[in-house]
Amino acid sequence: MRLFFLYISYFICFTTMWSITTLFASTFEIINPCEDKIYLKETIQIESKISVGSLSIDLFNKWEIPYKGNKHNILSILNTPTEFDSYEIISDRSMRIYGWCYQVNNQLSNKLANDYILEPSQNYSIRWYYGFAHYLNGTWISFCEPLFNYPKQFFCGR
């Protein structure tokens, strides 16, 4: 009987610990710049408070993914164009500026990547995708529009 209770105690402890460690698994994705296809998707554990920017830099380094930028602003992932090479001048009244955007739980954030703090006690879906902001007639008319919705534009159509 004593062995039975020991077994039950062990089982409860093991299943509780297993549930705690798997309960808060998050996903980290990078979407192919020119297609709505996943380039990379990994399950990760967020063990302490960390910003999206710091987490991303840590994971890019760990997985040897080429990038330019820092925890505040990711300028390039997978060798996408940066600086003036990321500007598309359409006319004297219209241009698009391309860059990387992130979503957390399918929501675009208005915060810099280093200002969005992730908590260890929650599940997250973090997604990086290549997008653009469109300037037309003196007004920004879109922001972080996914480039894969317009694959013949910019460098994807070349």
Q: In the structure, how many helices (H) and strands (E) does the chain have?
A: 2, 11
> Which helix (H) or strand (E) covers residue 39, if one does?
strand 38-45
Which of the four pLDDT bands, split at 50, 70 and 90, describes residue 125?
very high
Domain boundaries, the chain: 24-157
Kindly report the CA angle at 144 between 104 and 86, in degrees rounded to 5? 125
- CATH topology assigned to domain 24-157: Ferric Hydroxamate Uptake Protein; Chain A, domain 1 (2.170.130)
Q: Which pLDDT belongs to residue 11?
A: 44
Query: Is pLDDT of 8 > 80?
Result: no
pLDDT tens-digit readout, 23-61:
578 999 999 988 889 999 999 999 999 999 999 999 999
pLDDT tens-digit readout, 68-89:
999 999 999 999 999 999 999 9
Q: What is the DSSP letter of 32?
A: -
